[in-house]
Amino acid sequence: MGRSFYHFLMTYRDHTKNKSAAQFADDAYHDHSFPKQAKDYHTLSNYLELNAHYLPGMSIFDDLWNKYLEDEAKNK
């Protein structure tokens, strides 16, 4: 995988179509402890479950994770 999930997530900032993804991206941007270099599902999901009080549900992350994997597969 090339870029980290965080860098992929930042492409969702200020989107009007998917407001929950845009809010997640904006909140992650302001979270100085977010694992910005992580490319591993378990590292990210563990962090979010324990530290991301701003994320209303893990389904948002799971949906974006799947899009991240699809995007990375296309860019190989």
Catalogue all structural domains in the chain, each as residue range(s) with its CATH number: 5-74 (1.10.150.260)
Structure confidence at residue 3 (pLDDT): 92
The answer for residues whose C-beta is within 8 angstroms of residue 58's C-beta and 6 or more apart is: 45, 48, 49
pTM: 0.90
pLDDT band at 1 (very low <50, low <70, confident <90, very high): low
28: tokens are 């992650």
pLDDT band at 18 (very low <50, low <70, confident <90, very high): confident
Residue type, 38: A
Residue 73 burial by Cβ neighbours in a 10 Å radius (0-12, 13-18, 19+): exposed
Q: What crossing angle do the helices spanning 19-30 and 58-74 adopt, rounded to 10°? A: 90
Instruction: Please say if the pLDDT value at position 31 is more than 70.
Output: yes
